[in-house]
Structure 1
Amino acid sequence: MREGHQGTGPGAITPDGCAVELYERLPAGTEPDIIAAAVPAGAHILELGCGVGRVTHPLLERGFTVTAVDESPEMLRRVRGARTICSPIEDLELGETFDVVMLASFLVHAGDAEVRRGLLRTCARHVARDGCVLIQREGGDYHINVPRERVDPAGCTVRILSAEPVGDGVNSVRAEYVFPDATWTQTFRSRPLTTEQFEEALAEAGLTVDRYLTEDGVWVRAVREGTR
């Protein structure tokens, strides 16, 4: 397990505390629609942190070509129809570029600032000159509106139980996912970022915001600096 990360529940648990069987059950939600509206039809997408293909598969159905990357072989075995690559995101060096690079699942909020820098550098070196990077951020109240819960369309009750400071601006977040027949928990470290801090992190990697795709600012379209 990565430091500060753990997970409980049935089935395989990845190094960042994600449960493979849980993510097989969770629906894609609105993410594929947001992505499809922000990029050219038929674009080649590099999906960083694809998991079990929860978003990969709907994108393939919409006619996109997807190269799916994850560090967990257990996750990647569930992906169908996409080229898959098993690698930590920050170490990825494919020697090619893509129309779209996608960094979802709040990965930009990695507790370790050096990991975050590595993630964004990977985005920058794999996006085509005229391409874009799509990033999913945490909502502005992610760490303060706790505890909270919602019922997912799949019938899962998702609870964010706590977000406790552990130093250096990082919180330890504990989440619980309850289905009628199984319960999973995940504890992970997350660094809240203001909009200014987020945009500074992008600039450090040579990226800049093109536009915010959703009113809450959670989904962002970024491009290489100097190409807007």
Structure 2
Amino acid sequence: MELKTRAGHQGTGPGAITPDGCAVELYSRLPAGPEPDIIEAAVPAGASMLELGSGVGRMTHPLLERGFTVTAVDESPEMLARVRGARTICSPIEDLDLGERFDVVLLASFLVHAADLDVRRGLLRTCVRHVAEDGCVLIQREGEDYHSRVPRERRDPHGFTVRILSSEPVDEGVRSVHAEYVFPDATWTQTFRARPLTKEQFEEALAEAGLRADRYLTEDRIWVRAVPAAA
């Protein structure tokens, strides 16, 4: 499967770069952070999970360690080659149709902010297609000041620095974000496009797809538990 670079997305640095500008080696180095704990607290023990956009398994591996059964989906074979212990499927998310239902569907990494409206609708339709009637979809949103608090940087305890250098408008409702990841031995950059969504716009997008926000899992409303609208 040959993948075309997405318009407005690019990346630099050592190793393979995916069509959306992500560097495989960079994501192999990033820690999981608090996300696996947030997910574990929101779903039943031992749940079956469909992880959309798993990348190298940054969250997959901690979730497996917590006793969940994970099917990891990513369009990058280079990313999936780093995943261990999970069933892996190489496919664009919006095209996925496994004919299966899962207790939990994960849509993390701000994927719901896809700049292309058709892509966003496709992502959410995939979530609905694969979630069990009594299951849930866990979605990670951008922070409400993600595009206004720039430039900014964060020094990670693991010894690297993340900088969001700019967020510039490029189209109606779309912004171009430039990020930099600095490690002692290498630097990566990523430029990508995102469509900011207010809480109201986000919930409207869910409703259009047949989902509703059940509850926000974090005080900053970045993590959301959604359920089928009929539930």
TM-score by length of 1: 0.99
* 1:117 to 2:118 alignment: no
Residue identity (%): 83
| Count of residue correspondences | 227
Q: What letter corresponds to residue 33 of structure 2 in structure 1?
A: G
Equivalent position SS for 1:75: helix
Letter in 2 for 1:15: P
What do the CA deviations read for 1:77-123 (whole angstroms, capped 9, x no partner)? 00000000000000000001000000000000001111000000000
**Does residue 104 of structure 1 match 2:108?**
yes
1:119 partner SS: helix
Conserved? CA contact 1:206–1:224, under 8 Å: yes
Aligned to 2:152: 148
Paired residues for 1:39-188 under 5 Å: 39-188=43-192
Q: Tell me the distance in 2 between the aligned counterparts of 1:105 and 1:98.
A: 20
CA distance in 2, matches of 1:114, 1:226: 23
Q: Distance in 2 between matches of 1:151 and 1:201?
A: 34
* 8 Å CA contact 1:50, 1:70 repeated in 2: yes
Write the distance in 2 (CA, Å) between the matches of 1:154 and 1:70.
Answer: 26
Q: Which residue of 2 aligns with 1:202?
A: 206
Q: Deviations over 1:46-85 (max 9, x none)?
A: 0000000000000000000000000000000000000000
Secondary structure at the aligned position of 1:144 is classed as coil
Whole-angstrom distance in 2 between the partners of 1:143 and 1:28 = 23
Measured in 2, the distance between the counterparts of 1:170 and 1:192 equals 7
Instruction: Tell me the distance in 1 between the aligned counterparts of 2:136 and 2:36.
Output: 16
Gaps of 5+ in 2: none
Give 5+ residue unaligned stretches, structure 1. Answer: none
What is the identity, as a one-letter code, of the residue corresponding to 2:12? T
More displaced 10-residue stretch of structure 1: 150-159 or 193-202: 150-159
RMSD: 0.4
Instruction: Note the C-alpha offset of 1:154.
Output: 2.2
